[in-house]
Structure 1
Amino acid sequence: MPSVLTNFIVFEGLDGAGTTTQMQLLAEACDRSDRPCRATFEPTDKPIGRLVRSVLQKQILTTPLALAMLYAADREDHLYNPVYGLIQDLQAGKLVISDRYLYSSLSYQGVECDFDKIASLNEFPSPEYVFFIDTPVEECLRRISSRGNETELFERQGFLQKVKANYERIFSTLDPEVKLVRLDGLLKKEEIAAQIQEILFNR
């Protein structure tokens, strides 16, 4: 298995940064241009991923390390499951677009757990591209609040500031083969999407 997965595209950012929106817009652009793609997300909607979401929504109480282990198990399944693992789609020549990947685990779980321990749980292949939607913490919180939903486990200002610092720590030591693209999260979603498509479709 290569250390960097060609045609694997990952969106990262704080909660409220717009990663889900950009994943969806890129998938729609692929469909319009008849480019084979698979849009996906983490935590997944499979059994382990649903368990993760139950913890995030405070329906299940567990320890930070146990949650980190669940994230890693969900990621292992997401990549390698013999029925729906995304490795199969990559091998079939599809562009795989994921809303979050291992960098979210390192950034979020690395706040409450030993960072090196979280890294050891997440020794998975790297994506070809990481699009980091760089959005101020205050703007992310404003967007989260406007959703009207109950705040999830990680949606607190002090916590998100530490998460952002962890992202910077990760990116400073990123595999040089991984293409990191920083995007201004305060731009209109259409402007961000256009920048992404310019990079991917004209490479």
Structure 2
Amino acid sequence: MSILRSFIVFEGLDGAGTTTQIKNLARYYEFNRRPYYITNEPTSNPIGLLIRDVLQKKVVTTPEALALLYASDRHDHLYNPSYGIERITEEGRVVMSDRYFYSSIAYQSVQCNPDFVRTINSAFPSPEFIIFVDTPVEECMNRIEKRGGVKELFDRAEYLTSVRNNYLREFENLPEGVNLLVVDGSKPIDTVEMEIRKYLSSFSL
């Protein structure tokens, strides 16, 4: 599996705080005039919007079909000639993505055969860096409740517990060249931010 350089993926449970930490890192890069690009999965492109409808329970489909939709959205996210991640990294920008195929493996493998999920994502390049914001399930559920709105498809404590276990299991077998940082997402936001910055700075990022 190839590794996409200058590609940083933030992973975590819903409510873990990945979006906040990406914004904080972007602000740091902005201050230091480092070119960067923020993105996320599912995307806001047509396939990604369909996925969001499924997550918000507006559309019903099978777990396997949802896993395939994620893989299709990811392919476009990586290789689209206009806005694909691969092209953006070639321009010299650091790409930070809120979720990548590790989310598919962690979330979809709860309801699908894990080998099926891995197979449909096996051709995608690995990121150079993974930042796993490991926030306790109970804390994530509290944050989800506080932000209000309609709970998404997977926002249940028992489901998120299985997701976390899948993440940790997957991270035990990362390919050589993929760098993983696990941070405690229950710590203060600025403490988590400094841990991430210190870690990436050790790689001159």
- For the pair 1:77 / 2:76, whether they are aligned, the reply is yes
- For the pair 1:66 / 2:65, whether they are aligned, the reply is yes
Q: For 1:177-198, what per-residue CA distance to the aligned partner results, in whole angstroms no more than 9, with x for missing partners?
A: 1101000111111111111112
Query: Match for 2:73: what amino acid?
Result: D
SS class of match (1:39): strand
Percent identity, aligned pairs only, is: 50
Query: Match for 2:32: what amino acid?
Result: S
Q: For 1:26-72, what per-residue CA distance to the aligned partner results, in whole angstroms no more than 9, with x for missing partners?
A: 11111111000001100001111111000000010100000000000
Q: Which residue of 1 aligns with 2:196?
A: 196
TM-score by length of 1: 0.97
Q: Which residue of 1 aligns with 2:45?
A: 46
> Are the equivalent residues in 1 in contact too, given 2:16–2:134 (CA < 8 A)?
yes
Root-mean-square deviation (CA), in Å?
0.9
Q: Distance in 2 between matches of 1:45 and 1:201?
A: 30
1:1-203 alignment runs, 5 A limit? 3-123=2-122, 124-203=124-203
TM-score by length of 2: 0.96
Structure 1: tracts of 5 or more residues without a match: none
Range moving further from structure 2, 95-104 or 171-180: 171-180
Q: For 1:134-179, what per-residue CA distance to the aligned partner results, in whole angstroms no more than 9, with x for missing partners?
A: 1111110011001111110000011011101101110111112110
Q: Distance in 2 between matches of 1:134 and 1:11?
A: 11
Query: Match for 1:151: what amino acid?
Result: K
Q: Distance in 2 between matches of 1:49 and 1:190?
A: 31
How many residues of Structure 1 are paired with residues of Structure 2 in the alignment?
A: 202
Shift of 1:7: 0.6
Shift of 1:101: 0.4
> Are the equivalent residues in 1 in contact too, given 2:6–2:93 (CA < 8 A)?
yes
> Are the equivalent residues in 1 in contact too, given 2:6–2:89 (CA < 8 A)?
yes
Query: Match for 2:168: what amino acid?
Result: E
Q: Distance in 1 between matches of 2:134 and 2:176?
A: 20
Q: Distance in 2 between matches of 1:21 and 1:109?
A: 24
> Are the equivalent residues in 1 in contact too, given 2:137–2:157 (CA < 8 A)?
yes
| Off by >6 Å, runs of 4+ in structure 1 | none
